[in-house]
Amino acid sequence: MDYFEMERKRYTQSGGGALGIGGSVTPVIKYLLLINLSVFLVQALSKLFLGTDFLPKIFGFVPYRFVNYLMIWQAVTYMFLHGGIFHLFWNMLALWMFGGEVEATMGSKNFLKYYFACGIFAGLCSLIFAYNSPIPVIGASGAIYGVLTAFGMLFPERVITLLLFFVLPIRAKAKYFVMAFAALTFLQTLTNTNSGVAHFAHLGGIIFGFLYFRNFFGLQTFVEQISFSKPRKKRSETRDIPRDVYISEEIDPILEKISREGLHSLTKKERKLLQNAKEKL
């Protein structure tokens, strides 16, 4: 069990990390919040002491530099930069309110991979009509829209109640909530092309989330198979392993994962291993 799963298990056993408003602080959400806040503090200090925020030019997603100078790290780092306190506040509020339950359902590792995949895809979508632009695209909004889409896909009948501008109450099922955001974002890409807001990045997060959960082009399978950990040594032949050892080492962890996170959390490799065990045992 890796660090994130140990943290997640501790979170589950303790009854969650609700702060009392509706969100929950799951392990990945906690670290994403801390990293975004820390980077914003660095941005604020650079403005205070240097008189300028130089980070967006280097770590923001600058289409011209990304294409012509192959600054590929920008596709990831731009997600942690924000243009102001309200930009940061609304993104982190949405991440906290909706991300915790999505992470608890998908599993921490799969959620983390999904979050970054949404953000990267969203950034690349901003290249569609601005591939030569020198203006940095910054913010976690693309990834956040992916999280909202995930919530709508995983809990379509869940009723969401929000106060628009903290005044006007809005009550709708999650699936309609996400559809409305998608429609609004699409209209903004058509009508507000010069607003300075990366609406194509927002739309990219929504599109990726939809394709992911429908597993179009095997997208979900591909993302789930991405691994940054050292692969386990493979045994040459399953039949050489004692039955009880095989079950305890290979099958029991998968069954525990299903019980803990749901069948949806299994990777393609784990599903195949479970199917092979069913046939052999």
**pLDDT tens digits, one per residue of 107-160:** 999 999 999 999 999 999 988 878 888 999 999 999 999 999 999 999 999 888
Are 190 and 259 in the same domain? no
Residue 177 has pLDDT above 50, yes or no: yes
- Is 149 exposed, middle or buried, given 0-12, 13-18 or 19+ CB atoms closer than 10 A? buried
pLDDT of residue 161: 76
Report pTM. Answer: 0.74
Residue 131: per-residue pLDDT: 83
Domain around 271: 238-280
CB environment 162-187: b (16+ within 10 A), e (fewer): eeeeeeeeeeeebbebbeebbeebbe
Q: Which residue has tokens 């609406």?
A: 199
Residue 136 sits in the same domain as residue 96: yes
Whole-number pLDDT of residue 238: 45
Length of the chain (residues): 281
Residue 119 CA to residue 125 CA, distance in Å, equals 10
Domains of the chain: total: 2
The answer on 154 and 70 residing in a single domain is yes
- Sorting pLDDT into bands at 50, 70 and 90, what band is 17? very low
Q: Determine the pLDDT at residue 92.
A: 94
